[in-house]
Amino acid sequence: MSDFHDFLRRQFAHVAIGEFKPGKFTEAQQLYEQAVSSYGHGFKAAYLLQEPGTDRGISIIFWESADDMDSHQTQARHQEILKKMAPLFAHSPDTGFYDLVYERHPDSVAQPEGLPV
């Protein structure tokens, strides 16, 4: 029965789409990594994507609940890092909060004998 209850529990994602000033993506990435490393309860995963050859990117951070996300965003450490990151943006990022409604991981596929794994 716990599998069914796990199925009913959805994760939430905070998504930010933005662009940094020319040459500032690496510095922003370092600050992003610091912020994410400070997350604890309710944090599930974080992804930072960069459009090749640009300073545009997408951040996706998964949480167990909106309350978990909110509690981390109000912490002093998080606010301090955001203050350092803000001047690196070319303009304010677009942000949103989403429910994860579908997730699929690759199936384990057995390799035919004789083929490298």
Give the tens place of pLDDT for each residue, 63-82: 998 888 888 877 888 889 98
- 7 versus 49: the higher-pLDDT residue is 49
Q: Where are the alpha helices (DSSP H) in 9-116?
A: 25-37, 66-73, 76-85
pTM of the full structure: 0.80
Q: What is the mean pLDDT of residues 81-89?
A: 95
CATH topology of domain 10-99: Alpha-Beta Plaits (3.30.70)
**Residue 93 token pair:** 């990022």
For 1-117, strand residue ranges (E) read 12-19, 43-50, 56-63, 94-99
pLDDT tens profile 22-68 = 999 999 999 999 999 989 899 999 999 999 999 999 999 999 988 88
pLDDT at 5 over 50: no
Mean of pLDDT values over 6-20: 83
Which ranges in 9-117 belong to alpha helices (H)? 25-37, 66-73, 76-85
More confident residue, 7 or 111: 111
User: What gap in Å lies between CA 117 and CA 114, rounded to an integer?
Assistant: 9
